[in-house]
Structure 1
Amino acid sequence: MGVRRSVALATAVERLRDAGVASPEHDAAQLLAHVHGIERRDLFRVETVTEELGVRFEALVARRAAREPLQHLTGSAFFRHVELAVGPGVFTPRPETELLAGWAIEHASSLTRPVVVDLCTGSGAIAKAIADEVPGADVHAVELDVDAHTWAERNLAGTGVDLRQGDMADAFDDLLGTVDVVVCNPPYIPLEAWESVAVEARDHDPHLALFSGDDGLDAMRVLAQRASRLLKPGGVVGAEHADLQGASAPEVFAVTGHWVEILDHRDLAGRPRFTTARLAR
């Protein structure tokens, strides 16, 4: 015995919506595709969900309703053109960060054998995307958290990326003054914003990857200083920030006196999303 696909999905969507999941239709379909071992776009081929798969599906839906991240349940996340293994202990890459990665890729693509550094690499998402789309780039990445570094090792294996474990504040002394592009998705949530953070992130992402001092910009200040030492004159830096930091994040770079062409960029929803700057010559 089994149930029709449409019935299984409708029941799951209702449960996820009642639990406050932001995208119940998408998540239900993704989980059903996952238990069938197919892509979500191929779900139309499934007419009936067998009893065995139905039990697995219901168990995953229950975990998602408890606000466990979808990517933890499927074990993977997609970022631009690459797939990443993710799970407990590593920050789940967000779609909006693809814009920052795209900026870095665009700049690296305009250079011959560019040297690119990804600070706070987490799962390795940005570094892997750059290595994938700019095969001539010399890509380096660093992650402080031991568990996240383990995930990055898995994701960056075979890519040629130079991955290290350590603090971005003193990473890559051997590259000082030689880097063309520095990119970073640092922690940027103010400590006081704890209760406003989505349950999926607050309860499952490493806090080291989320929170950064009273104003959320402690890591950004470290980045502005470290990037000024890593980059060659005229090199560029890009960093993601919260949508409420569209003025304060660029100011972090402006007050140092090291940077020119300081710009803030919006995401596809029109919200301030990342800051870029060029090291003065």
Structure 2
Amino acid sequence: MKVNVHDPRGEELAQVLVRATAALAQVPSPRVDAELLAAHLLHGGSRSRLQHAALMGERLTPAQVAEYEALVARRASREPLQHITGCAPFYRLELSVGPGVFVPRPETELLVEEALKVLSARAESATGQLRIVDLCAGSGAIAAAVKSELPNAQVFAVELSEDAIPYARKNLEPLGVHLVQGDALTALTEQAGRFDAVLSNPPYIPPGNVPADPEAALHDPEMALYGGGADGMQMPTAIAARAYELLAPGGFFMMEHDDTQEGAVAELLARVGFERCYPVRDLNGRSRHSAGYKPAAAGS
């Protein structure tokens, strides 16, 4: 990507985007990423404004092109786009992310959508304030999305990683979510049996299933990916048991998992004591989440 330094008017944005797209040929969405990087640098993150500016013949100075080239080179090396821009879209929100925190994925939005169906109905009939907790919160994506839709609920988020906590704090404090730095398996012990819902996207990847994308394999923290044990079920098993302890009778639990773990998770939830369990499938028909209820007659 070489700028034409002899043109005093600068170089057309449209031409710069064409070269950037070619430079990003090895990433999954080269043109989209080229535009998002340019929008981040030049137009406040607005891709539509960037596209309009390109159509209108906007020109860039050599300094702007050089700065943009540096961003494109980072993305070409498969550094996550979200690390470069410092933000990730998630369920109508823009979350702060970066090195050391798991970048939220679109499939987790399915968990939020299903949980909100259940919790919105419960909020309408509840006599008190709903109490919800996000275990293994990472950037706080689930807790932030739920709180943004249920502002009257009391929402907690538990995260252990010191690297992830600054991002979670930035995302959650403006919304009024209670962030707890600690182990998801031991935090909030004094509040066991008092939550209406426990939601979680725990580490669950089996050790042999290293993500194919370099962005995940090289940049997502391992503690947010691998669930432990030969099948990746060690952490999901512990989270399900902890969720049961934290829930009030009749409380709702939902957890993300690998699409190969549907049967194992169904057996796990039944063994722990959950009832009315069901899977939630993505658009390709793969089971990516499982949900269930603590029996209404169960003790805390």
Q: Establish whether TM, by shorter chain, passes 0.5.
A: yes
Question: How does 1:175-190 map onto structure 2 within 5 Å?
Answer: 175-190=191-206
Q: Show the counterpart of 2:47.
A: 40
Mapped pair 1:27 → 2:39: no
Q: Give 1:254-269 correspondences, 5 Å limit.
A: 254-256=270-272, 258-269=273-284
Q: Which amino acid counterpart does residue 14 of structure 2 have in structure 1?
A: S
Query: What CA deviation, in whole Å up to 9, does each residue of 1:191-233 have, x standing for no partner?
Result: 1122x44211111111110011121111110111001111111
Match of 1:201 in 2: 216
Match of 1:81 among 77, 82, 92: 92
- Aligned with 1:159 (options 170, 175, 191): 175
- CA deviations over 1:62-121 (Å, ceiling 9, x no partner): 111111000000011111122111111111111111111122222222223211000000
CA contact (8 A) 1:236 1:279 kept: yes
C-alpha distance in structure 2 between counterparts of 1:198 and 1:247, whole Å: 26
How far, CA to CA, are the matches of 2:71 and 2:263 in structure 1? 41
Name the CA distance, whole Å, in 1 between partners of 2:262 and 2:13. Answer: 44
Letter in 1 for 2:21: V
2:264 paired residue number: 248
Per the alignment, in what secondary structure is the counterpart of residue 255 of structure 1?
helix
Q: CA deviation at 1:270?
A: 2.7
1:11 aligned onto 2:19 = yes
Tell me which structure has the larger Cα radius of gyration: 2
Contact in 2 for aligned 1:76/1:83 (Cα 8 Å)? yes
Matched, 1:273 2:280: no
Cα distance in structure 2, aligned partners of 1:130 and 1:124: 10
How far apart, CA to CA, are the structure 1 residues paired with 2:130 and 2:118? 9
Q: Which moved more, 1:222-231 or 1:265-274?
A: 265-274
Shift of 1:268: 2.6
Q: Structure 1: how far apart are the matches of 2:31 and 2:259?
A: 26
Name the aligned partner's letter for residue 75 of structure 2: R
1:108–1:116 Cα contact (<8 Å) kept: no
Task: Please report the TM-score for the alignment, with normalisation by the length of structure 1.
Answer: 0.94
SS at structure 2 position matched to 1:181: strand
Indicate the residue corresponding to 1:136 in structure 2. 152
Indicate the residue corresponding to 2:3 in structure 1: none
Could you tell me how far apart the structure 2 residues matched to 1:65 and 1:254 are? 46
The answer as to whether partners of 1:5 and 1:49 remain within 8 angstroms in 2 is yes
Note if contact 1:77-1:85 (Cα within 8 Å) is conserved in structure 2.
Answer: yes
**Residue of structure 2 in register with 1:150 after alignment:** 166
- Which residue in the other structure is 1:127 paired with? 143
- Which residue does 1:56 correspond to in 2? 67
| C-alpha distance 269-10 of structure 1, shift in aligned 2 (>3 A) | farther
CA deviation after TM superposition for structure 1 residue 50, in Å: 2.8
User: 2:148 is aligned with what amino acid?
Assistant: D
How far is the alpha carbon of 1:250 from its aligned partner?
Answer: 2.2
The total of aligned residue pairs comes to: 277
Distance (Å, rounded) in 2 between the aligned partners of 1:27 and 1:169? 38
Deviation at 1:137, TM superposition (A): 0.5
Paired residue type of 1:211? Y
222, 225, 233: which is aligned to 2:238?
222
- The match for 1:234 is 250
Matches within 5 A, 1:89-108: 89-108=100-119
Give the deviation of 1:178 after TM superposition.
1.2
* Structure 1: unaligned runs, 5 residues or longer: none
**8 Å contact kept, 1:108–1:137:** no
RMSD between aligned alpha carbons?
Answer: 1.4
1:164-214 superposed Cα distances (whole Å, 9 cap, x missing partner): 1111111211221111111001111111122x4421111111111001112
Unaligned runs of 5+ residues in structure 2 are 1-6
- CA contact 1:107–1:181 (8 Å) conserved in 2: no
User: What amino acid is the match of 1:201?
Assistant: A
Change (3 A) 1:13 1:246: farther
